[in-house]
């Protein structure tokens, strides 16, 4: 059974940067999609960015385009999220998640993703 472990959250002022990591162990075949999701306080979980294991262009939520960058190191089975120019509305619990046996990434909707790691908190405030 695979596991995902997210890390790298913290507190930062508006305009600052943080980098999240998600270590995957136990599986990850080629036909998988992996990504980042977040749940702001009192709101439902939402998609942030996804990337396909076999390569291809990442998918981003409109709210983070131009500020966040998703990447992966397949050799290390690690997913990253570089977050720049952070805003207070980026405050949320961030999760990594994956789904297998897709020929491309599904839409940025949490219900498509079946394996989740524990979250890491990101707080943006002055």
- CA-based R_g, the chain, Å: 14
pLDDT digits (tens, 9 = 90+) for 57-107: 899 999 999 999 999 988 888 999 999 999 999 999 999 999 988 888 999
The CA distance from 99 to 120, in Å, is 20
Structure-block tokens of residue 69: 């960058």
Residue 117 has pLDDT above 70, yes or no: yes
């Amino acid at each position: 059974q695979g596991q995902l472990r997210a890390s790298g959250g913290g507190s930062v002022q508006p305009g600052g940067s943080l980098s999240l990591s998600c270590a995957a162990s136990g599986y990850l075949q080629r036909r998988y999609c992996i990504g980042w999701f977040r749940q702001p306080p009192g709101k439902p979980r939402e998609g942030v960015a996804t990337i396909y294991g076999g390569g291809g262009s990442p998918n981003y939520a409109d709210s983070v385009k131009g500020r966040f960058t998703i990447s992966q190191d397949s050799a290390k089975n690690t997913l990253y999220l570089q977050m720049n120019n952070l805003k207070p509305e980026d405050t949320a619990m961030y999760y990594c998640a994956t789904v297998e046996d897709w020929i491309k990434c599904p839409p940025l909707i949490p219900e498509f993703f079946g394996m989740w790691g524990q979250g890491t908190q990101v707080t943006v405030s002055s």
